[in-house]
Structure 1
Amino acid sequence: KCNYSKMNASEIVSNTAGKGVYHARCIRSWAHEYVMSRQIPYSRQGHHAKIWSFLWDEGILLQVKSYIREHKWDISPQMLMIQMNEVILPGLGFAPSPTIHINTARNYLKELGYTYAKVKKGIYIDGHEREDVVAYRKIFLEQMSEFEHRMPIFSGDNLEEITWPDSNVQPLILITHDECIFSAYDGSRSLWIPDGEQPLRKKGNGRSIHVSDFLTDVCGRLALPDEMQVSDDFPREACVIMHSGKNNDGWWKADDLIIFDQCERAIPIFEARFPGCQALFAFDNVSSHATFSPDALIAKNMNLNPGGKQPKIRRTYFGDENIQQDMIFPSDYRISNLRGQPKGLKQVLMERGLWPNEGLKLEEARKIMSQQPDFLAQKGRIKEVIVATGHKVIFYPKFHCELNYIKNFWGAAKKFSRSNCDYLWTGLQRTVPLALASVPLTTIRRYARKAFRYMDVYRKGLTGKAAEFAVKKYRSHRRV
């Protein structure tokens, strides 16, 4: 429109921008590209590879990925450099064999999606979507869905308002359990420190305190309020604190959950604190929580013949008519040395009419015995103790720590203990009770609400990072 040619117009624009002839040529090229494709070309400056990368070779790339998978949680640039220089590259017939620098190995790890970061606890990706774990998670979510309508609902800015279920529905309160260890030398992990200086800290973790506690979003830690009057021998809190170590209180075992009366303390405290309510005790799905009583109906603990070192199993009932069967010989049994001794698989199966004429080997007899209805119905010891009092038990899916909100409680308590750590055993004994009491009830309720959001996103089919994003992005009470 100004009667300028393309060359003159481009030179005027280039001069106005303080550029020269080359920039004017670029402007004409950009204009031609826009006329032809209606797109402005983007700059390729800095995007051109200056050297050839070994990762461009498919064979090398496959070997590198395979090695990294084998060392998923301990891989380092140093390890990858040694593997490349001593195994992968010489094995492909390079003569002389080239080598890579540790900086190159570090760049390879970044290119393959690895970053150097502080390890944090969150969703366990390994095993989280394993077939058996997903199958149990579906069962768990269905059970929780049936229970939720009986649980109280919290509302308000600080979740201080409680809405209980209808009067014709017995309230159900979720009581979650877990254990945590506090160490004397476990100080703050991140600090503001002067350049070139590091604090001098003691090595190792030092002596530790093992805490096992129950938590609920209604009252926080399961304990009686100070104003509630009870007898002197009545427990006031369900928490158990052990000074771990061979020369102290020993080590935590599954039996401690029952024998050292934690469940027996928790149940009366709950019933006194919430009369007329039913508890849903939730535990992590670990093998120690699935142990059986010494007299439980477990076929693999029985011998083929009577007597011996096999345990004395409890009385049971079998058949459609619930026929009573003792697993121990009576005190007036005709063979004196078997009186009061366990019967063994052969005798038990004979009394049930399941012993064949040709006999059975030990493993065959155990298999038949384990498939009997009374043996299949055997519950773990924790479940037996709690169900006998009229309450319910549920176990979280494996690798799903995000569903147990007491994990967040431990994180907040440890943050307090680390910030107040003085690296002394007496200081740890003083700090741990303060750390447990430092987490407000409002915060505990927020942790519980987040756990229920995770349950909701899993019901909707989301997993992994998509589930984490949905829980943070979309918020409502126990729903996403």
Structure 2
Amino acid sequence: GLVAVEALLKSKMSDFAGGPTGLQAKQTCTIASYLALVVHKNYCPLVASQLAAECHGFAKMWGGHQVWSWARACVSERMLPISLTGHHTKTYSLLSDPGIAAELHTYVRSNKWAINPDKLAAFTKDQLIPAEAEQYAQRVTSDEMPNGLKQYMEHELLPQLHLKVSRGISLVTARQWLHHEGFKFMTHKKGVYFDGAGHGIHQSDVICSTEGHLVDAGCSLEYGKNYEGYWNGELFVKQLKEKIIPAFEQAHGAGYQALFFIDNSQGNSAYAEDALLALEK
């Protein structure tokens, strides 16, 4: 079982496709983590595969499924994951491979695609005037990021995996992948919307860094003195206790800790009932 697999992994340490930092090496380390969790920590295979996938930069659900299949092949056939080039159907996409997707995410977040790093830094720090910031964001998502992604795939990532796309990666494909992964231009305003009757609606939502939009954690109220009042710290604390924490535990399971980043709004400020506030008269 595990001893034989560990011996196989050690014997391949210097013979990975793409080298010791390539995709196969990363997959092998993920297999080792998965097996260690199952054998030494008594984790169930499903949880172990998802934890191992997330730990090594793969997607939790799809990556976890892949880890389980890799480990099964490794245990039963003594085979490590291999490239699907030449063996996949015509509908297979390299961008759907969790390993390649993880590498692309790392590249995009590194900001190495930026033509003007100083301007990108100014944009992220909200130092550009609104009109200039909007134009820059549109140009980045429609031009700079897709071009950078295309160059990275063609000249770095695919050669490392010993893969080659005969006609290269098109800008359309790069834009589609970025759009699918959430890297797209959109305007963002404070969470106040209006219904068909013109009534203000406050929407307090939660975005998880691993699970995305936690729908069940959201809370809304109809703005104005004649409706449901105004959003305040007490309502936020109530949402945190009754919706956000239960939704987080449902998504991740019991025992996990969450680090919350709250936007700088007075409506999210909450104090103890007997707190001494200098602003109150």
Question: TM-score w.r.t. structure 2 length?
Answer: 0.30
Greater share of strand residues, 1 or 2? 1
Which of the pair has the greater relative contact order for Cα pairs under 8 Å at 6+ separation?
A: 1
More helix by share: 2
